[in-house]
Amino acid sequence: MVSAVIWFVPGGRTIGYPLMLLSTVAHEVGHGLTAVILGGRFEQIVIDRGAGGFARYRIEPGWRIAVVAAGGLIGPAIVAALGFRLGRNVHTARILAFAGALLLAGLLLFVGATDPDAPTALDRWFGAMVLSVLAFALGALALRATDVWCQFGIVFVAVQLALSVFVRADYLFTRSFRAPNGAELLSDTQMMAQQLLLPYWFWGLVCGGSSLVILVIGVRPFLMPSPRADAS
């Protein structure tokens, strides 16, 4: 409840900054993994200090570009749904935490400098630091945390990613945005519009609705009471 209120109070976005970074990582990883699934190549992930980022990949033009764009938009919802479903059981919670730690550690091989000409190492390699911290945290949950804390950690991450679907929903209805280097880039929904026709806001509705459906599918089992063994 407290983490949900954070986003809607004055200064809340500053307090919730680390949580925004978490959703950014899920978003960019969604792009990269979708590209790989469709036969493309994931080349680089960049996370900047403004809690933004991008994934660089190679894939055949056409509908695949649109699907990769959608993969990033619904990525946080998919991870949140997995967290809710697997977080109910301590064994699956540990498996999910360990798998997440391995994935993020592996992504360090693909992390790129936010700005190679930036004046400080923090500016240049901010993304590597973020991925390292997240990988370490998930690894600690999987290998060192008590059962209760492991499950709590997984569900906490799931809640934050679920909230990010709503808090950052404005991006779904954005045609373009300005990158930290000043360049104007097309939004994911506008990229979908270019490949699949229909306006960007239509694809924003599609991805937003899909995220909601995914969250409902993931959270329903979590909210249901655990089955009890019949008394003998």
Stretch 144-160: mean pLDDT: 95
pLDDT tops 80 at residue 228: no
In this prediction the pTM is: 0.86
Q: Which of 11-15, 61-65, 196-200, 205-209 has the highest average model confidence (pLDDT)?
A: 205-209
**Domain map of the chain by residue range?**
2-220
Share of the chain above pLDDT 70, in %: 84
Query: Distance between CA 57 and CA 40 in Å, rounded?
Result: 7
15-62: pLDDT as tens digits: 678 888 999 999 999 999 999 999 999 999 989 888 888 899 999 989
pLDDT of 231 = 43
Cα angle 178, 184, 186 (rounded to 5 degrees) comes to: 100
